[in-house]
């Protein structure tokens, strides 16, 4: 299976875009109910993708063999969004972050080895352990284990996200990044807004221009982040993509320090260093090996 530094770089940019979620969550406050917020954010992205895909001819007939993979990918995306907000409310952002990235990393590693015949190496195992250790150091002081349902939701979220991105390599090349992302967003929109209706969440009035303006910008960031993740995972081994995507929490920590003057903790900084090292090491070793082969 081929992997590329370009794919890792694309995932790194996507991780930064996703890391702004905390910033928008603080800015939006209680303006939106969780499921309604997720559903409308996905709907805005879906409309944008629909317009772009239609006018640029990015939507192609889906081969029959791809429908089963689309069903699994969309199901993973659909369960990841609602369970994220439930987990946040039940066990807190810190604990959910640790469980989410750990499970997502294991999921991408498993899919890569079992379904995509990815080679499992000592370097990948070491990097995965290093990344989990980094996540633990960052979240150590704020872990909560008080809700079994919250923990289960967090695990489901990690599984769904790992599945929805790792399996894009099973789709044939006729499927564009725009089409794959649009299908996922359609599933997220349907699942989130249906649950919002069932639980009778409050509708945010359109007269609240500030909230809807922030929601639109947040939607653009989520859309671009999701699109880039799809493109990135199409170009790298799933285990590598899972490692690089964990840099999202590093960006989130830095944004919290810079924008909101959050407390500076040395354990968190060491944890960030571990995660960055785990993310760049596989590509770094590969590039060094390629350079030596050319030199010889």
pTM summary value = 0.89
* Closest-CA residue to 159 (of 244, 233, 242): 242
Q: CA–CA separation, 252 vs 24, rounded Å?
A: 11
Average per-residue pLDDT for the chain:
89
Average pLDDT over every residue of 88-105: 83
Of 1-5, 78-82, 203-207, 246-250, the poorest mean pLDDT is in: 1-5
Residue 171 pLDDT greater than 90, yes or no:
yes
For 191-229, the pLDDT digits (tens) are: 999 999 999 999 999 999 999 999 999 999 999 999 999
Q: What pLDDT does 206 receive?
A: 95
Q: CA–CA separation, 245 vs 10, rounded Å?
A: 10
Q: What pLDDT does 231 receive?
A: 94
| Contact indicator for 86, 150 with CB cutoff of 8 Å | yes
Distances (CA, A) of 51 to 17, 43, 93: 22, 12, 34
CB atoms within 10 A of CB 41: 25
| Contact indicator for 28, 211 with CB cutoff of 8 Å | yes
pLDDT band with cut points at 50, 70 and 90 for residue 295: low
Residue 55 pLDDT greater than 70, yes or no:
yes
Distances (CA, A) of 192 to 69, 70, 187, 250, 285: 21, 18, 8, 28, 41
With H, G, I as helix, E, B as strand and everything else as coil, classify residue 59.
coil
Q: What pLDDT does 3 receive?
A: 57
124's CB contacts (< 8 A; 6+ apart) are 109, 239, 240, 243, 282
Q: What pLDDT does 180 receive?
A: 96
Q: What pLDDT does 25 receive?
A: 80
Average pLDDT over every residue of 28-46: 92
Q: What pLDDT does 293 receive?
A: 66
| Contact indicator for 78, 160 with CB cutoff of 8 Å | yes
Q: CA–CA separation, 26 vs 23, rounded Å?
A: 5
With H, G, I as helix, E, B as strand and everything else as coil, classify residue 142.
helix
Q: CA–CA separation, 50 vs 132, rounded Å?
A: 37
pLDDT band with cut points at 50, 70 and 90 for residue 23: confident
* Closest-CA residue to 32 (of 202, 199, 213): 202
| Contact indicator for 74, 184 with CB cutoff of 8 Å | yes
For 98-149, the pLDDT digits (tens) are: 888 999 999 999 999 999 988 889 999 999 999 999 999 988 877 777 888 8
Q: What pLDDT does 43 receive?
A: 97
Q: What pLDDT does 194 receive?
A: 95
Q: What pLDDT does 1 receive?
A: 52
Residue 266 pLDDT greater than 90, yes or no:
no
- The 3-class SS string of the chain reads CCCCHHHHHHHHHHHHHHHCHHHHHHHHCCCCCHHHHHHHHHHHHHHHHHHHHHHCCCCCCCCHHHHHHHHHHHHHHHHHHHHHHHHHHHHHHHHHHHHHHHHHHHHHHHHHHHCCCCCCCHHHHHHHHHHHHHHHHHHHHHCCCCCHHHHHHHHHHHHHHHHHHHHHHHCCCCCCHHHHHHHHHHHHHHHHHHHHHHCCCCCCCCCCHHHHHHHHHHHHHHHHHHHHHHHHHCCCCHHHHHHHHCHHHHHHHHHHHHHHCCCCCHHHHHHHHHHHHHHHHHHHHHHHHHHHHHHC
């Amino acid at each position: 299976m081929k992997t590329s530094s370009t794919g890792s770089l694309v995932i790194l940019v996507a991780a930064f875009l996703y890391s702004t979620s905390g910033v928008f969550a603080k800015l939006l406050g209680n303006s939106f109910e969780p499921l309604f917020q997720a559903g409308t954010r996905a709907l805005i992205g879906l409309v944008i993708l629909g317009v772009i895909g239609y006018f640029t001819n990015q939507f192609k007939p889906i081969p029959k063999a791809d429908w089963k993979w689309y069903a699994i990918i969309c199901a993973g995306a659909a369960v990841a969004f609602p369970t994220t907000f439930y987990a946040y409310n039940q066990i807190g952002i810190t604990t959910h972050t640790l469980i989410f990235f750990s499970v997502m990393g294991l999921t991408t590693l498993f899919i890569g080895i079992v379904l995509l015949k990815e080679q499992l190496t000592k370097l990948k195992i070491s990097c995965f352990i290093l990344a989990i250790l980094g996540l633990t150091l960052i979240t150590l002081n704020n872990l909560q284990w008080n809700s079994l349902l919250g923990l289960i939701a967090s695990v489901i979220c990690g599984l769904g996200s790992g599945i929805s991105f790792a399996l894009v390599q099973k789709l044939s090349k006729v499927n564009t990044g725009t089409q794959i992302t649009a299908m996922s967003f359609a599933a997220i929109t349907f699942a989130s807004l249906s649950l919002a209706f069932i639980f009778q969440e409050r509708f945010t009035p359109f007269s609240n221009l500030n909230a809807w303006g922030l929601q639109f910008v947040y939607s653009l960031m989520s859309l671009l982040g999701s699109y880039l993740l799809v493109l990135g995972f199409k170009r790298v081994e799933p285990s590598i993509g899972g490692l690089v995507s964990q840099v999202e929490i590093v960006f989130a920590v830095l944004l919290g320090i810079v924008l909101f003057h959050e407390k500076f903790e040395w354990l968190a900084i060491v944890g960030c260093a571990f995660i960055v090292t785990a993310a760049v090491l596989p590509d770094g070793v590969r590039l060094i090996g390629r350079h030596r082969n050319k030199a010889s």
